[in-house]
């Protein structure tokens, strides 16, 4: 029961993240006057936009494949990569927060990504047989 809830959370967390990244990359692509810059990520400008677009599509594809029972391992790898990028970007790279609220938000996002890893991993657990 708990495994199913954490797995559902993981799918929803990464779907929301993928949709956000897709929207951000599309807005950046179609607004020609602005260049995208996210200080916690190593890319800037057009390269960042391309990476965000690719990551969003990869995330949605990995969720779809995991939900259908195919290539579940891809979803686990995606969840690990998201957590790794968040942890590295926010806490290892020297990113500076603009205040305690931004720090708190980064902590919540990263903790959410960590919990989502357990949800992605839970799809590999063997299901218990029902007793009659």
Comparing 45-49, 78-82, 111-115, the range with the smallest average pLDDT is: 45-49
Residue with tokens 């929301």, as numbered in its chain:
16
At 30-50, the pLDDT tens digits run: 987 567 888 899 998 889 999
Is a pLDDT exceeding 90 seen at residue 6?
yes
d(CA 73, CA 63): 10
Bridge partners of residue 20, in order along the sequence: none
Query: What's the CA gap between 40 and 52, in Å, rounded?
Result: 13
Residue with tokens 């779907």: 15
In Å, how far are 16, 23, 49 from 80, measured between CA atoms?
16, 22, 21
Helix%, strand%, coil% for the chain, nearest 5 = 75, 0, 25
Specify the DSSP class assigned to residue 42. S
pLDDT of residue 25: 93
């Amino acid at each position: 029961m708990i495994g199913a809830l954490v797995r559902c959370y993981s799918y929803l967390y990464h779907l929301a993240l993928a949709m956000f990244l897709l929207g951000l990359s599309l807005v950046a692509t179609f607004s020609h006057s602005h260049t995208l810059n996210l200080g916690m990520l190593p890319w800037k400008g057009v390269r960042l936009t391309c990476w965000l677009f690719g990551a969003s599509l990869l995330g949605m594809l990995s969720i779809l494949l995991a939900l259908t029972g195919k290539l579940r391992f891809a979803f686990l790898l995606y969840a690990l990569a998201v957590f790794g990028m968040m942890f590295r970007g926010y806490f290892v790279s020297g990113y500076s927060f603009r205040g305690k609220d931004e720090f708190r938000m980064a902590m919540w996002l990263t903790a959410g990504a960590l919990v989502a890893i357990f949800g992605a991993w839970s799809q590999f657990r063997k299901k218990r047989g029902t007793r009659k």
